[in-house]
Amino acid sequence: MKVSSLAAAKAFTTADGSMIRELVHTDAQSLAEASLDSGQATRRHYHRANEEIYFLLEGTGRMEVDGEVRDVGPGDAVLIPPGAWHQITASAPLRFLCCCAPPYSHDDSFFA
């Protein structure tokens, strides 16, 4: 059994500008905690291969997926299909889980 600790996970900045701590990375998927400071936003981008799910833990923000914009907060889950342009902007310090299948790779992030 593999058990990962958030406290022990090393933080790094993704290609879109969010700070993440990856908990699990297998050949099939990855799970990370991401955070944005109030007013900070990820760089609008898409992934060719990755399907993502954001699950918001703390804070509030605005999520855009392919031109559709919604306010999001704790308990919300957002599905981001492969190829969908997306961006999240924090209205208040934001913390969320990011699940990717296949696993996250800097090489699968594309920007305008």
Q: What are phi and psi of 30, to 5 degrees?
A: -145, 155
CATH number for position 35: 2.60.120.10
pLDDT value of residue 112: 84
Structural domain boundaries enclosing 47: 9-111
Provide the number of structural domains found in the chain. Answer: 1
Cβ count near 29 (within 10 Å): 15
Residue 54 and residue 63 in contact, taking contact as beta carbons nearer than 8 Å? yes
Q: What is the value of pTM for the model shown?
A: 0.95
Question: In whole angstroms, how far apart are CA 59 and each of 18, 31, 88, 91, 95?
Answer: 15, 19, 12, 7, 6
Domain assignment present for 3: no
pLDDT value of residue 105: 92
Domain assignment present for 82: yes
Domain assignment present for 51: yes
Domain assignment present for 21: yes
Residue 80 and residue 52 in contact, taking contact as beta carbons nearer than 8 Å? yes
Domain assignment present for 2: no
Cβ count near 96 (within 10 Å): 27
Q: Looking at 14-18, 98-102, 106-110, which range is the least confident one? A: 14-18
pLDDT value of residue 87: 98
**Half-sphere exposure of residue 11: CA atoms within 13 angstroms, side-chain side:** 8
Residue 106: helix, strand or coil by DSSP?
helix
Domain assignment present for 104: yes
Domain assignment present for 94: yes
Domain assignment present for 19: yes
pLDDT tens digits for 51-107? 999 999 999 999 999 999 999 999 999 999 999 999 999 999 999 999 999 999 999
Is a pLDDT exceeding 90 seen at residue 27?
Answer: yes
Residue closest to 18 by CA, chosen among 103, 86, 101: 86
